[in-house]
A and B are shown apart, each in its own frame.
Chain A
Amino acid sequence: MMRTLLTVLLVLLLGSVARAERLIVSVSNHRVTVTPNYSGEELVLFGSVERDATTPADRIAYDLVVTVMGPRADMVTRRKERAFGIWINTDYRQFLQVPTYLALFANRPFEAITSPEIARRQQIGLNNVLLTQRVSGDFADVVPNDAFRSAFIRLRTQRGLYREDPSAVTFLTPTLFRTGIPLPAEVPIGTYEVEIKLFANGALITKTETAFEIVKVGFEQFVATTARQNGFVYGLATVAMALMTGWMASIVFRKD
């Protein structure tokens, strides 16, 4: 009897030591709709760090890293070189199933939060996120300063689709936090995964996940889907529209 009680107590204690803190998060909108006059939006992620009795009393300073990943796609990065006096595409690298949108936010610089070793393992920072390339038949991520990889990240960043901001997460109280997730006008459609990692004294304590969805609605969505799924019908409709416009113009502006 005594032994059983002790075991239960031990399990409880161990269990709660393993997850002394709990993260509770939510995004302001789980379903973002892209309407014809959509020109970008900002979502807000907020949450709190729940402490319990087993949390070490001296652990008061937390660090947070938020990773937002959009739907994945294959992409090709091409490099122009000068040939015959003009600039043409020559070499290229294929990136396999990389996120179309990628944002990394933290409350202070990544290198201050954790060691380079953990940052690499937990994919913290744009330099550490895994971007698989196909290099002549092999699949691998290359060194962060690879010309194609850094060009890829730079171009995505210019379009507002990749970003890292080590000051975007703000702690309102020592345990209550929030961060904005900016979505540019040309945001990819699909499911977005949000991963929130909690650090204290350079060690990963716990993590949690949430998600939101970006959908095109109304006429927009209808046009885009029809064009992709029923190309022939879409073409016929466009042709009919062109003929109608031309015919109407010739009637409206008839001179006799």
Chain B
Amino acid sequence: MQLYLPIADLPVNVFLVLAMGAAVGFVSGMFGIGGGFLMTPLLIFIGITPAVAVASVASHIAASSFSGALTYWRRRAIDPALASVLLSGGITGTALGVWTFTQLRALGQLDLMIALSYVVLLTTVGSLMFSEGLRALMRTRRGAVPPRRTHSWIHGLPLKMRFKRSKIYLSVIPVLIVGTMIGFIGAIMGIGGGFILVPIMIYLLRVPTSTVIGTSMVLTLVTMLVATMLHAATNHLVDAVLALILMVGGVTGAQFGARAGQKIRGEQLRLLLGLLILSVGVRFAIELVIRPEDLFTIRELGVGT
């Protein structure tokens, strides 16, 4: 069934988009991430311009992280204090990101920036996660105990604050910086940033695993809501019809993914996720390096009178 997307300005097959939403939703449910880093490239692949894809995926991630956040809230697995400090950074970062997005679009370098950030971020995070998963897997094989966590320089920073639910005592500076960074890259790349935020919170900020996913989902939810609003108000690029199809597919797929994820061990899950992220990054890198099929592109600047 063909459906005409009003903002993307092209007809798409509803079932194809629904299936894409469900597939990405499955992956996101399995790994507890938003899945934006898979969704945006897929949309670009079916012919939607990177700008519309990034803006529309923001609202899709908002929907899936809201349903996730509600579940974690009921389980009391969200740290409200930590979430609000992260958020004040996150909202600033998102606003900066949307502004940068508009500037880059005017310069004609938006597509390049999106592709470059994907390459840098995904290959780095992917290979880190992959090697970490591999090490953990080998450790469990050998039956060795994981190394004891030690305090790093981050815990020596001033402006310390007590986060009760997470039972940590931490400076607000690194939390604010992390929030800003995630908000910024999220707005430019059309990703929630969960797959970067969760490892940072665990390894750098030493947030306990009990509150990490729920709290990161709150940040994702709010930054993506703000990104949707700003993209809609400044760039008019959010395709609500596309977003709705993605949401319906995504939230359904996520439920099955979550069930499948419980059957796989944590290290294997990290290994798989690392591999997945890495391959998306490598795909973007290849595209940048090989000679494009067409060296020319056209962009419409708006219908005149």
Tell yes or no: B299 within 8 A of A by CB: yes
The minimal Cβ–Cβ distance linking B52 to chain A, given in whole angstroms, is 11
Tell yes or no: A168 within 8 A of B by CB: no
Residue among A34, A97, A231, A250 making CB contact with B71, cutoff 8 Å? A250
Residue among B291, B298, B301 making CB contact with A87, cutoff 8 Å? B291
Tell yes or no: B65 within 8 A of A by CB: yes
Tell yes or no: B2 within 8 A of A by CB: yes
Knowing A75-B301, A242-B243 are in contact, say whether A148-B7 is a contact too (CB < 8 A): no
Which of A78, A97, A221 has most B Cβ within 10 Å?
A: A78
Tell yes or no: B150 within 8 A of A by CB: no
Residues of A within 8 A of B252 (CB): 249
Cα-based distance from A81 to B108 in the complex (angstroms): 13
The minimal Cβ–Cβ distance linking B298 to chain A, given in whole angstroms, is 5
Interface 1/0 per residue, A192-206 and B, CB below 8 Å:
000000000000000
Tell yes or no: B157 within 8 A of A by CB: no
Knowing A74-B304, A152-B296, A224-B7 are in contact, say whether A235-B247 is a contact too (CB < 8 A): no
Knowing A87-B288, A246-B66, A246-B70 are in contact, say whether A76-B299 is a contact too (CB < 8 A): yes
Q: Are A227 and B296 in contact (CB under 8 A)?
A: no
Q: Are B301 and A76 in contact (CB under 8 A)?
A: yes
- Total A-B Cβ pairs within 8 A: 194
Cα-based distance from A35 to B11 in the complex (angstroms): 10
The minimal Cβ–Cβ distance linking B305 to chain A, given in whole angstroms, is 8
Tell yes or no: A88 within 8 A of B by CB: yes
> Which A residue's beta carbon lies closest to that of B226?
A239
Tell yes or no: A237 within 8 A of B by CB: yes
> Which B residue's beta carbon lies closest to that of A76?
B299
List the one stretch of A17-25, A47-55, A135-143, A183-191 in contact with chain B.
A183-191
The minimal Cβ–Cβ distance linking B176 to chain A, given in whole angstroms, is 24
Residues 216 to 233 of chain B near chain A (Cβ within 8 Å): 224-225, 228-233
Tell yes or no: A80 within 8 A of B by CB: yes
Knowing A34-B4, A227-B7, A238-B243 are in contact, say whether A245-B63 is a contact too (CB < 8 A): yes
> Which B residue's beta carbon lies closest to that of A88?
B112
Tell yes or no: A223 within 8 A of B by CB: yes
Q: Are B301 and A247 in contact (CB under 8 A)?
A: no
Interface residues on A, range: 35 or more
Q: Are A77 and B297 in contact (CB under 8 A)?
A: yes
Residues of A within 8 A of B70 (CB): 246-247, 250
Knowing A71-B303, A74-B301, A155-B297 are in contact, say whether A242-B60 is a contact too (CB < 8 A): yes
Residues 270 to 285 of chain B near chain A (Cβ within 8 Å): none
Q: Are B63 and A243 in contact (CB under 8 A)?
A: yes
Residue among B4, B59, B67, B234 making CB contact with A37, cutoff 8 Å? B4
Q: Are B67 and A241 in contact (CB under 8 A)?
A: no
Tell yes or no: B295 within 8 A of A by CB: yes
Tell yes or no: B62 within 8 A of A by CB: yes
Residues of B within 8 A of A76 (CB): 108, 298-299, 301
Looking at chain B's contact residues, the main secondary structure is helix
Residues of A within 8 A of B303 (CB): 71-73, 100, 188, 190
Tell yes or no: B302 within 8 A of A by CB: yes
The minimal Cβ–Cβ distance linking B292 to chain A, given in whole angstroms, is 5
Q: Are B297 and A232 in contact (CB under 8 A)?
A: no
Knowing A89-B112, A246-B66 are in contact, say whether A77-B11 is a contact too (CB < 8 A): no
Residues of B within 8 A of A120 (CB): none
Knowing A89-B112, A188-B303, A249-B251 are in contact, say whether A242-B228 is a contact too (CB < 8 A): yes
Tell yes or no: B208 within 8 A of A by CB: no
Tell yes or no: B84 within 8 A of A by CB: no
Which of B4, B248, B292 has most A Cβ within 10 Å?
A: B4
> Which A residue's beta carbon lies closest to that of B9?
A186
Residues 57 to 106 of chain A near chain B (Cβ within 8 Å): 71-82, 85-89, 92, 94, 97, 100
Knowing A80-B292, A223-B240 are in contact, say whether A39-B11 is a contact too (CB < 8 A): yes
Q: Are B238 and A238 in contact (CB under 8 A)?
A: yes
Cα-based distance from A207 to B108 in the complex (angstroms): 41
Interface 1/0 per residue, B248-292 and A, CB below 8 Å:
100110110000000000000000000000000000000011011
Residues of A within 8 A of B112 (CB): 86, 88-89
Residues of A within 8 A of B240 (CB): 223, 227, 234, 237-238, 241
Can you sample 26 A-B contacts with CB below 8 Å?
A37-B1, A73-B300, A74-B304, A78-B108, A80-B296, A86-B288, A87-B288, A89-B109, A92-B108, A152-B296, A155-B296, A216-B6, A223-B6, A223-B240, A223-B241, A231-B236, A232-B229, A234-B240, A238-B238, A241-B63, A241-B247, A242-B224, A243-B225, A246-B251, A247-B67, A249-B64
